[in-house]
């Protein structure tokens, strides 16, 4: 069965593809994908001459699993959420990563010591950190929400809520 190399951004994977003529990267599209194209793909192409192609999808984990199971992988690098990357790695759907290919930091620090704990795994390197934030109108709620449970307290803090359209983060917050 073919497998896919997964890293959470295209930037880290370019070392393995240095001899490739073209590298196809799958990411989330929209403004995020455009930013990756400008920040990573275009500069890499300019520096190396390797053509970089971006493929957009709303959740890369789904097509990755389908491609691997169909033995028809059409992308080289994929930007996955951490939980999806762990699951796909555990299912044997991602290539094992030879961490010796990871370059040291500019100051010489080994890659294993230069990333956050847990960022370098058997199948991927996590390179993007994101967070969930809460915003509220302080004129309506001068003593605004301070805990996740406040987000779900519709009596104390009435009004609309905005959440992602996936259960991962939402379920975790509700359980907390």
Any idea what the CATH number is for the domain that residue 108 is in? 3.40.190.10
Q: How many domains does the chain have?
A: 2
Q: H/E element holding 54?
A: strand 51-56
Give a yes or no: residue 51 inside a domain: yes
Give a yes or no: residue 126 inside a domain: no
Structure confidence at residue 9 as a pLDDT band (50, 70, 90) = very low
* Whether residues 168 and 94 fall in one domain: no
* Whether residues 146 and 103 fall in one domain: no
Give a yes or no: residue 26 inside a domain: yes
Distance, in Å, from the CA atom of 111 to the CA atom of 103, rounded to the nearest integer, reads 6
User: Is residue 6 a contact partner of residue 123, using CB atoms and an 8 Å limit?
Assistant: yes
Rounded to two decimals, what is the model's pTM? 0.74
Q: What is the reported pLDDT for 164?
A: 82
- Per-residue pLDDT tens over the stretch 56-75: 998 899 999 999 999 999 99
Q: What is the reported pLDDT for 130?
A: 79
Other Cβ atoms within 10 Å of 140 Cβ, number: 10
Domain extent for 66: 10-114
Is residue 14 over pLDDT 60? no
* Whether residues 151 and 76 fall in one domain: no
């Amino acid at each position: 069965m073919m497998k896919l190399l997964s890293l959470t951004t295209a930037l880290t994977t370019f070392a393995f593809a240095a001899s490739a003529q073209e590298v196809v990267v799958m990411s989330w599209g929209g403004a995020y994908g455009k930013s990756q194209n400008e920040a990573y793909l275009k500069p890499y192409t300019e520096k190396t001459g390797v053509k970089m192609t971006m493929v957009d999808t709303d959740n890369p984990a789904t097509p990755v699993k389908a491609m691997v199971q169909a033995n028809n992988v059409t992308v080289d690098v994929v930007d996955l959420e951490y939980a999806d990357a762990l699951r796909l790695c555990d299912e044997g759907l991602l290539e094992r990563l030879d961490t010796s290919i990871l370059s040291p930091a500019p100051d010489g620090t080994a890659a294993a010591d230069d990333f956050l704990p847990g960022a370098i795994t058997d199948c991927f390197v996590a390179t993007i950190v994101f967070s969930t934030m809460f915003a509220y109108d302080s004129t309506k709620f001068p003593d605004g929400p301070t805990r996740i449970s406040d987000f779900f307290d519709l009596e104390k803090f009435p009004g609309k809520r905005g959440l992602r359209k996936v259960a991962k983060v939402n379920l975790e917050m509700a359980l907390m």
